[in-house]
Each structure stands twice: as C-alpha cells, then as structure tokens.
Structure 1
Amino acid sequence: MPERKPAGFFRGEKEQPTLITEAAVSLEQQHHNRVRRYTIIMAFRIPCLVLSAVAYSIWGNWVISMLIIGVSIPLPWIAVLGANDRPPRSKDEPSRWDGRRNQKALDSRPHKAIDG
C-alpha cells in the first residue's frame, strides 16, 4: 500500500494548518526569529571588512576603505537593538494609556487661599 503524505482536509492544501486562533507567536519562535535577524545583520560585517581590503588593493584609496569600514561599525549595535525588539503590537492590542488621555493634568479654576 503506498504511503500517503499528510495533508489538510482539502486537496492542494498546504501541509501547515491554517491559523485560526488569536494566540501570540510562541516565545521559542520569537527567540528563533530574533536570533535569525541578529545573525543576518552581523553576517554583513565580515564582507564589509573584506570589501574594504579589496577596495584598497584595487583603487589604493584609503578613504573608500574607511567609508566601507565606517558603514560596518554600527552594525553590531543595530543587530542587538533588532534582536532585543519585541514583535510588533497588533491593532487589537489595547493601549495602556487610553484611560489617561481624557484626564486634565491641572485644575484650571481659581482657588481661594486662606491666610493664617
């Protein structure tokens, strides 16, 4: 008997099930996405350093090499900020400051002072 590949209820349906819940992405998946983002950004740093050496050897101009190295300097900072960022907030997620928008910071009516 031939083996059957797992599939959905309908022919041509993808192997992954359709997401029908409003549950957030799991913490493991968020961590995996952040590690992948960090790795991709940091992977650009080594080619920048190699490219600066190649540019110097081809043109003999140290300014171009320094510009390429200068582009690679903020990459670790950008990678860390991107890796530590949380997933974007959904439109359905309530804002924590909604209740405070209608409150007045100071009372504007005049008050009587009592001198003692």
Structure 2
Amino acid sequence: MPRPSRPAAGYFPGEGKHPALITEAAPSLEQQHRARVRRYSLLMGFRIPCLVLAAVAYSFWSNALISLLIIGVSIPLPWIAVLVANDRPPRRKDEPSRWDERRAAKAALESGHHRAIDG
C-alpha cells in the first residue's frame, strides 16, 4: 500500500502538535505554580539590567539624575513581581460570582432581637 505524501491533518490543521482539550477543568496546581514562577523570574530579571544600565549611564553621561531615575524605576519591581506572581488565574466568564447583593443587603438591614438591661 503506498504511503501518503503528507500526514492527514484531520478537521483542524496542526492538531497533532497539541493535545485536544476535552475538559473545562482548571490547569493543575503544578502548571499554575510554574507559570507564576516564570512571571516572577521574568519581572525580577529586569531589575539587574536596570541597575547595570544605571551604572553605565552614570559612567557615560556623568549625570546622577539619569542613573537615579533608572534606579527609581527598578525599586517597585520586586513588589510588582510578587503581586503578579501571587495573582490567581483570570476568572472565566462562565464561573459563577460568589457575591449576592440581595442577600448582603437583606442581612445588613435586618436587626435581630437585642436584650436591653434596664437599670
């Protein structure tokens, strides 16, 4: 039997490269952790070049203001990296909202029976 000249593409070309997603389950905790570590490393990786760039800028222009501006940009990077890395995956549109405004308003307006002590 002759072999085909190219592999069959099926309904969607390139589907052999990636497995089909057949569930709506969230990515595993390991995959989420790996993605968070990658984001944190990427953001923190910008800090060292900023400090080196500040030193190079000072040696090139002998202007401390430019170097301080570059260092100033690198100061909030650890804070931003931690916030971005600890963020949860984005909520899907079909994920239900946990806030029920009617129930919260009703609980806020209701007053229970309070005993008073008369003196």
**Bin of the TM-score, shorter chain as denominator length:** 0.7 to 0.9
1:100 alignment partner AA = R
Tell me which residue corresponds to 2:116. none
Q: CA deviation at 1:87?
A: 0.4
Q: Does 1:13 align with 2:14?
A: yes
Query: TM-score when scaled to structure 1?
Result: 0.77
1:8–1:17 CA contact under 8 A, matched in 2? no
The 2-side partners of 1:11 and 1:92 are apart by 25
Overall identity of the aligned pairs, in %: 69
CA RMSD of aligned residues (A): 2.7
1:1-116 correspondence to structure 2 within 5 Å: 12-14=13-15, 15-98=17-100, 100=103, 103=106, 105-106=108-109
Q: Distance in 2 between matches of 1:106 and 1:79?
A: 41
- Give the TM-score of the pair, scaled to structure 2: 0.75
Paired residue total: 108
Runs of 4+ displaced beyond 6 Å: none
Q: State the distance in 2 between where 1:30 and 1:97 align.
A: 25
What is the one-letter code of the residue matched to 1:53? Answer: A
Distance 1:11 1:80 in 2: 39
Which moves more between the two structures, 11-20 or 67-76?
11-20
Structure-2 residue corresponding to 1:112: none
The runs of 5 or more residues in structure 1 that have no matched partner are: 1-6, 108-116
Question: Aligned AA for 2:90?
Answer: P
What 5-or-longer segments of structure 2 have no aligned partner?
1-7, 111-119
